[in-house]
Structure 1
Amino acid sequence: MPEWINIVIRSVVALVYLFILTKLIGKRQIRQLTYIEYIVGISIGSIAAFMATDMDGPMFHSLIAMTIFALFPVLMEWLSLKSKAIRNVVEGQATILIKDGKILEDNLKKERLTTEDLMEQLRMKNVFRVADVEFALMETSGEVSVLLKSQHRPVTPQDLDLPVAQAEEPQAVIMDGNIMDESLANLGLNRNWVRQELQKAGVALENVFLGQVDRAGQLYLDLYDDKIKVAPPQELKLTYALLKKCQADLEMFALSTKNKRTKQVYEKDAEHLQRVIDRMKPLLTQ
């Protein structure tokens, strides 16, 4: 057998076996690899390269070595699940870098980070003042997690005690100019509804690259021609505005009437409608 054919066979076998071993070790992103997995990855790659080019030694010797290296991190992962002490050794522990706005220089040296490195990591989290940080930790993956002090965190609807509609994944009902019947069925809609919405928007089906329906039943369109602007759906906002107008009219009627009983009816209806508007606002104003 020519030598080059032998190299091709060995290389293909090495690649296939590497793929099998990688599936065995498990799926992790590069930045999530432990020290052992990183070392094992380099070693297995070196053995595979040696196996592909070494014409003297038998192939199965390299396969045995690769198998042993691959099984070692699997064994360590299993032991880590059983023992926190082993997990701390294998995966390491998070290190506090900043506490209550103060940099812990000893921990910074322990992780071999310079002040510039720390500031770069903070800027990547959109933090530019160390004094604004409550905690900053270096995770075992090498990422820096940052918790801002409460007065410097972005305000959330929960902080303001505002109700917010639950987020749900929009459904794609049009792709590449084709209607997706399964997605429509999941939403309880049909092709006639899609055609009516496209007619309202003045858009032909074949011109739609992507069409999505949100939880409120509004259709958002992305066209092939990016120069054409499609106005966003306004039905919900118009409904909200109409409800607000009705509530204001009821209050005005209550102020203008001289009949005490009629005034009470208008005021009661206005309060009831206002409660309905408050409950529906997160959905109608999204």
Structure 2
Amino acid sequence: MQDWLEVTLRTLLSIFVLFLLTKLVGKRQISQLSFFEYITGISIGNLAAYVSLDLEATWYLGLISLGVWVAVSIGIEFLQLKSKKVRDLIDSKATVLIKGGKVLEDNLKKERLTSDELLEQLRKKDVFRVADVEFAIMEPSGDISVLLTRENQPITPAHLGIKVAPEHEPQTVIMDGKILDEPLSTVGLNRRWLATELETIGVTLENVYIAQVDAYRQLYVDLYDDHIKVPQPQLKAELYALLKKIEADLELFGLSTKNKEAKHMYERCAQEMRQVLKEMKPLLHH
């Protein structure tokens, strides 16, 4: 066999084996490398290159070495899942860099981090004053987590005592102009409903780049043509307005009638409607 053909075949084999081994090692190998995983990734890449280019008869030993590296990596990950001591040994522990607005210089030196690098990381978290930081911790991955002091934390609905509706994952029902039936059935809908909604907003299926349905069955559409504006769903706003109108009508009926029994009934219904509005507001204003 000619050398160029042998190298080509071995390269294809290496790519295939490397793909399988990478799938075994898992996504963490790609998304968040520890020090050991970083070494493993480099070594596996070098071994794959060796298998591709070594024209000697012992090239298959490279495949054995690849298997050993992956087996050791999986074994260490298994031990990390079972033991915190192993996790601390392999990944190290988190280090507190700032506490109560005060930089801990000894810990900064321990992590070989300069003050400029610390300030840069804080700015990436939209923090520009060290005094605003309650805690800053360097994670084993090298990322820095920041907790602001209570008075500098953003206001949330919880701080104001406001209840909001839970957030559910939207389902993508159209992609590249094609209907995705599985996500559509996940939210209990079908193609007929989708066709009706598209007709209502005046767009055709072929013009839709992406369409998503939220937990309230409202359809959001993005078209290929960015110059065309699609009206946003108003179902929740319309429902809230309708409930407010019912409340106002009940109060008006109560004021208009001279029948005491009817007046009492209308007032009671209006009070119940106000309670319904109070409970529904977090959902309808989400």
The TM tier, using the shorter chain, reads 0.7 to 0.9
Q: Deviations over 1:22-43 (max 9, x none)?
A: 3333332445222222222223
Aligned residues: 286
2:158 paired residue number: 158
How does 1:1-286 map onto structure 2 within 5 Å?
1-30=1-30, 32-56=32-56, 58-251=58-251, 254=254, 263-286=263-286
Counterpart code for 1:108: L
Contact 1:31 1:141 in 2 (8 A): no
> In the TM superposition, what is the alpha-carbon distance from 1:116 to its structure 2 partner?
1.6
> In the TM superposition, what is the alpha-carbon distance from 1:152 to its structure 2 partner?
1.9
Contact 1:10 1:59 in 2 (8 A): no
The 1:31/1:103 distance shift into structure 2, 3 A limit, reads farther
Q: Give the distance between the partners of 1:200 and 1:53, measured in 2 at CA.
A: 61
Q: Give the distance between the partners of 2:186 and 2:2, measured in 1 at CA.
A: 60
> In the TM superposition, what is the alpha-carbon distance from 1:177 to its structure 2 partner?
4.1
Contact 2:213 2:219 in 1 (8 A): yes
Which piece of structure 1 moves more, 253-262 or 47-56? 253-262
The 1:188/1:115 distance shift into structure 2, 3 A limit, reads same
> In the TM superposition, what is the alpha-carbon distance from 1:114 to its structure 2 partner?
1.2
The 1:8/1:227 distance shift into structure 2, 3 A limit, reads closer
> In the TM superposition, what is the alpha-carbon distance from 1:185 to its structure 2 partner?
4.2
What secondary structure is seen at the aligned counterpart in 2 of 1:221?
Answer: strand
Contact 1:216 1:283 in 2 (8 A): no
Q: Deviations over 1:58-113 (max 9, x none)?
A: 22333333333333323323333343222211111111111122111111111111
- Identity in percent: 53
Q: Give the distance between the partners of 1:222 and 1:137, measured in 2 at CA.
A: 40
Q: Give the distance between the partners of 1:180 and 1:44, measured in 2 at CA.
A: 38
> In the TM superposition, what is the alpha-carbon distance from 1:115 to its structure 2 partner?
1.4
Contact 1:31 1:142 in 2 (8 A): no
The 1:124/1:242 distance shift into structure 2, 3 A limit, reads same
What secondary structure is seen at the aligned counterpart in 2 of 1:135?
Answer: strand
Q: Give the distance between the partners of 2:23 and 2:184, measured in 1 at CA.
A: 37
Q: Give the distance between the partners of 1:88 and 1:29, measured in 2 at CA.
A: 18
The 1:68/1:223 distance shift into structure 2, 3 A limit, reads closer
Counterpart code for 1:228: I
Contact 2:96 2:104 in 1 (8 A): yes
Counterpart code for 1:202: G
Which piece of structure 1 moves more, 148-157 or 95-104? 148-157
Which piece of structure 1 moves more, 249-258 or 17-26? 249-258
> In the TM superposition, what is the alpha-carbon distance from 1:135 to its structure 2 partner?
1.3
Which piece of structure 1 moves more, 182-191 or 207-216? 182-191
The 1:29/1:40 distance shift into structure 2, 3 A limit, reads closer
The 1:3/1:195 distance shift into structure 2, 3 A limit, reads closer
Instruction: Give the gaps of 5 or more residues in structure 1.
Output: none
Counterpart code for 1:58: T
What secondary structure is seen at the aligned counterpart in 1 of 2:232?
Answer: coil
The 1:252/1:127 distance shift into structure 2, 3 A limit, reads farther
The 1:94/1:273 distance shift into structure 2, 3 A limit, reads same
What secondary structure is seen at the aligned counterpart in 1 of 2:28?
Answer: coil
With normalisation by structure 2, the TM-score equals 0.84
Counterpart code for 1:215: A
